[in-house]
Amino acid sequence: MTIQFIKKINLNHSFIFFLLVNLFSIVMFRLNYLDISSSICLFLILTIGVSHGALDNIKGKKLLKLFNFERIYIFYIFYIFIAVCVIIIWSVLPATTLLVFLIVASFHFGKEDTQFLINKKSYLIQLLYLLKGSLIILAPLFFHFDDTVKIFKSLLVVNENFY
């Protein structure tokens, strides 16, 4: 088997999984039957989420090499600077910042999950990344709307129109 054939199979399986999860989400939302435990969500965040973020330094090293920088501390300074800027902007414009964050997170999750399967770049592929990643972002809103609103309020988003 060629690598291209394997990528095509993976892409097809990924797309089928995407459609099935969407269908399942719509059915469960309509039935309001599925209850996902908070401890399961915490477990997933602590295992998959933390390890995913722990790889940022590897991407930082690649980025520094791309721009011909040799010292890794430059990456960490910019990384912390961006985090501080986000915190400041969040305190001034929480709803807008959260919305931008959710859109970027949707794209990021979709791209990280699908990027290795697709070689070409197009606006349709970028939209696929966004839609696929939005499953992760929108699922809490569908399954636990009131709890999600409480979380948004704890993040200083008190504008009811946002929800």
Residue-wise pLDDT for 75-102, tens only, equals: 888 888 988 998 899 888 888 888 888 8
Q: Quick one: pLDDT at residue 81?
A: 92
pLDDT at 8 over 80: no
Task: Please state, as a whole number, how many other Cβ atoms lie within 10 Å of the Cβ of residue 48.
Answer: 10
Q: Within 13 Å of residue 55, how many CA atoms lie on the same side as its CB?
A: 6
- Mean pLDDT (the chain) is 75
Q: For 3-12, 84-93, 104-113, 117-126, which range has the lowest pLDDT when averaged over its residues?
A: 3-12
Spatial CA neighbour of 157 closest among 81, 88, 148, 82: 148
